Amino acid sequence: MTASSVAAPAKPARYSAEANNTVLPIGWEMFVFALAILSITNMFLVLLAPVSEVDDVVLTVDVVLSLVFLGDFLARLHNAHDKRFYFFQGLGWLDLISCVPFLRLARIVRIGRVVRKLRSEGGLRSTLAALGAARASSSLLLVVFVAILMWEFGSMAILAVEVRDPAGNIKTASDALWYSLVTMSPVGYGDSFPVTNLGLLIGAVIIIVGAGLFGTITGFLANAFLAPRTSRAEDPQPDTDPAASPAGAPEAPGRADA
């Protein structure tokens, strides 16, 4: 056997992100992709904020996003067949660094990962088809993302309007974030409230959008608890063999012997 006839060794499967099991469901990948874009956008919002208190809203929300990115890193590390390879050659160390709020620029790696995944799976049309196949979980993550947007931008808007009014009681980032959260939820404590006309309009928008978001989440959770019972109840009974005769049934008369 000559040396030229010896086939080159195949590339180990661990060099593939899919084979290494570090690619999560497409709905979650798109969710992290959207959060990474939001986080990088927040870098510019801090520079454009009209008052310093609004900066605190952006920074507080970014801490929450950092916790989501940390959970994403831990999930990828846990799923990886070769954790050492994922952390070093698979740029997992950049995923870890991007969890730090002041190193948000490293989250571009997460955006690049999803863009490569979109290209490898046939583009936007294939991605939409995959999201449609997992409609329930993808819709839930979309609702959560919209809720984060409403929480952040609603807090920024209400604080920018109310902080200048001497009679206002929403003066800090914590006041604005708390007001937006309880207004979006069915709780509505009423300890913080807008006093300006524009603030009342912003509060009305938060109420309307929040009611729809929480209603969607509640419906998803109800379906998650009830769907298994429904599926078990609707399981088809095993088919009976039509050729088999019931016990005790008279046999069909056979052809008379000639």
Predicted local distance difference test score (pLDDT) of residue 238: 52
As averages over each run of 10 residues, the pLDDT of the chain (258 residues) reads 47 48 78 92 82 85 93 91 87 88 83 81 74 81 92 93 87 92 80 89 92 83 68 48 50 48
pLDDT of residue 112: 86
pLDDT the model gives residue 212: 87
User: What amino acid is encoded at 150 in this protein?
Assistant: M
Q: What does the pLDDT read at residue 16?
A: 52
pLDDT for 70: 93
Q: What contacts 215, CB < 8 A, 6 or more positions away?
A: none
Both structure tokens of 231: 């599926």
CA distances from 177 to 127, 200, 253 (A): 34, 16, 83
Q: pLDDT at position 228, please?
A: 57
- pLDDT, residue 148, reads 94
The predicted structure's pLDDT at residue 14: 44
Q: What's the token pair of residue 225? A: 């608890």
Nearest to 86 by CA among 179, 186, 37, 15: 15
Model confidence, pTM = 0.74
pLDDT at 255: 47
